[in-house]
Structure 1
């Protein structure tokens, strides 16, 4: 499989080439640089949390940071994968597939927000391009405030 010319995409595969497939498989779904930096800053403020955890046991979706007692779920959304209004640019290759994929992600994000909110959770969403210190400060202030109320 070293030679891309000999490689054939599996039936139903999203990969247009072996190189594209390797590239897409290498993209992290967790522990991205923005997530790690924000987690470090929040941890430095004395807060503890679960990483990449399900806020609701019966919902097959994970938040980047979960503060269970305060019922706060934090998501650090990537600009490409979650359709950032400022930075998302539709791909030139296989654009139909990828645009639909991003649209499904955005729809799933809104559904996740609604489900968590209906169960008493507060959802905080940040874009990967937002200043990490600002995100961490907002997370800390929100969690501390909600802990006082509960």
Structure 2
């Protein structure tokens, strides 16, 4: 077994990680099944609604929504405050701020493009911040899905 001290650590070629600890921290961040998503899903499920998790609303769009209600054509996104640039909670990091500001700006632009493409295809897009009340989010989701379901069920 080869053991390397943190003093000897060098980031892989082209890596954004400034240290081994930072790299481990960033790799541990979940892109799906976050606590806010799970809470909202549990509440929506308790209301009798069924949905797809981490699914593509459109087959040709290389993006996934956190919850997808196909028959009602509703795509739900629960956005993390840091990764999606929440106007109330985003704080630019001290380490490598240029990279991260650009990254967040690209994420925000991709979010707007996703919203546009889904709307153009006849979908309703619901976006929530991770800090919003799960109860309020679940209520909004359920009422929207019930209103838009073609069979009224």
Q: Residues 102-141 of structure 1: matches in 2 within 5 Å?
A: 102-141=104-143
Distance 1:22 1:120, change over 3 A: same
In the alignment, what sits opposite 1:7?
Answer: 9
In the alignment, what sits opposite 1:93?
Answer: 95
Cα distance in 2 for partners of 1:4, 1:96 equals 25
Distance 1:2 1:135, change over 3 A: farther
CA root-mean-square deviation = 1.1
- Extract structure 1 runs of 4+ deviating beyond 6 A: none
For residue 11 of structure 1, report the CA deviation from its aligned partner. Answer: 1.1
Q: Summarize deviations over 1:80-112 as a string: whole Å, max 9, x none.
A: 000000000000001000111000000000000
Cα distance in 1 for partners of 2:6, 2:73 equals 48
Q: What TM-score, normalized to structure 2? A: 0.95
For residue 2 of structure 1, report the CA deviation from its aligned partner. Answer: 4.4
Q: What TM-score, normalized to structure 1? A: 0.97
Give the paired residue count.
150
Secondary structure, aligned partner of 1:5: helix
Unmatched 5+ stretches in structure 1: none
In the alignment, what sits opposite 1:45?
Answer: 47
